[in-house]
Copies of this chain bind each other. A is one copy, B any other.
C-alpha cells in the first residue's frame, strides 16, 4: 500500500513536504511542457500549506491577503489554476468536502483514496491494490465497467485517537 499517512498524521518537518511538492511539480511540468505559471505555483503552495484540504474560496482569501501578491485575486483565476493542477495530477478534489489537497505522489499513476480525520481534518492519500480489486470485482459482478472512482473515508486519525 502506497500512502503518506505516516507523515500526514504525525509531527514532521512540513517544509520538506512543500519543497518536495513544488520541486516535483516543476519537474513534471517541465517534462510535459506544461506551464507552471506564478499563480499556478502560488495556488499549489497555498494548498500545500498543510495536510488539510482547502476550499477554493479559502485559497482565494489566503492569496489575496498574503504579502507577496500585490492585488486581489478573483475566483476564476484560482479555479483555472485548480483545473490546471487537477489536470496535471498535482492536486486532488475531495467531493465530500468541496475542497482540494496536494497529491504526495504525482506522476506515478495511482488509483487513490483518502482518509479524512474528522477531528483535525488532516487527510492522507492511499493507493491499495486490494481495495482496487475489491471494487473492480464487485462492479464486475454487476457487469459494470469501472472508469474512475471516488473513495473518501471519514474517521479518526492515529494522532486524534484517545
Contacts and interface: CB of A to CB of B under 8 A. Distances in A.
A86 B29 CA distance: 43
Interface string A34-61: 0000000000000000000000000000
Interface in A72-125: 95-96, 113, 115, 117-118, 124
Interface residues of A, number: 41
Contact of A153 (B115, B117, B135, B143): B135
Copies of this protein in the assembly total: 2
A30 interface: no
Interface of A: 1, 3, 5-6, 9, 95-96, 113, 115, 117-118, 124, 126, 128, 130-131, 133-135, 137-139, 141-158, 161
